[in-house]
Structure 1
Amino acid sequence: MRVVCAVVLIFEVIVIGLFIPVAISLEGMDPALAGGLWGGMAAAALVLAGLQKYRWAHYAAWVLQAAFLFSSFLVSGAMLIAVVFVSLWVTGVIMGRRTDQMKAAHLARARAEEEAEAENAVSASSGS
């Protein structure tokens, strides 16, 4: 799950960063405000992408998704892009959890088979 979430965050860095020139040119927003708002979110997304192995970073990325969604109200047309990326995030979390569960079940099954084989080898060698 964490790998998928990190990939979504990396793509978000690019998209969030592109909000800056759009907000300045189309909405007439102050460059300092646009750069601070979306530049800060892009930097946070980049840092959180690298820290997805930590539980707190995963939850912080959820907060970032909410901030991204709410800040998209400031730029016309940005809401659609924000909704797409938040949807990708939610889908990544859901599919990532399913994949993690399948990997864990496969690993448990493989360990059980190894233990059974080792047990059979021990009983076969002691029976000889």
Structure 2
Amino acid sequence: MRTLCSSTLIGEFFVIGFAALVAMKDPDLATATVWTVSGVAMLLSVLLCGVVTRPGGVYLGWALQLALIASGVVVPMMYFLGVVFAALWWASVHFGRKVDAAKARFAAQAGAGSSEADAA
């Protein structure tokens, strides 16, 4: 799960950065505000890569997805990209858990096979 979720989060890192470049063109927004908010979101996306498998990590990822969708208020294209990344996040979590379960089953079978060979 960690690999799939981290890949999604790193993709979001770049999308947030590009969205900040677009948001800078809005004359009503201060450049410092745009980069502060975007920088925090970018930092959060990178830090989440390390804590995604810990308790609450997936929920923090969902919070980031909601914030990405909400950023569509400033950059309308982010509504679409936020939904796309939320779908990718769901797929990463869903299929990542399936892969982790399959790996655990394979490791248990391999461990059972080697213990039987040791007994013989």
- TM-score range with shorter-chain normalisation? 0.7 to 0.9
Secondary structure of 2:101's counterpart equals helix
What TM-score results when the alignment is normalised by the length of structure 1?
0.82
- 2:87 maps to which residue? 87
Alignment partner, residue 21 of structure 1 = 21
Aligned AA (1:110)? A
**1:94 corresponds to which letter in structure 2?**
H
Does structure 1 conserve the Cα–Cα contact (< 8 Å) formed by 2:68 and 2:78? no
More helix per residue: 1 or 2? 1
Residues matched between the structures, number: 120
| Alpha-carbon separation, structure 2, partners of 1:7 and 1:73 | 25
* Larger-Rg structure: 1
* Alpha-carbon RMSD: 1.8
Distance 1:41 1:116 in 2: 51
Matched residue, 1:31: 31
TM-score (norm 2): 0.87
Shift of 1:33: 2.3
Q: Name whichever of 6-15 and 63-72 sits farther off.
A: 63-72
Q: Counterpart in 1 of 2:54?
A: 54
Q: Cα 1:105–1:22, aligned 2, differ >3 Å: closer, same or farther?
A: same
Q: Which runs of 5+ in 2 are unaligned?
A: none
Is the 2:2–2:96 contact (alpha carbons within 8 Å) kept by the matching residues of 1? yes
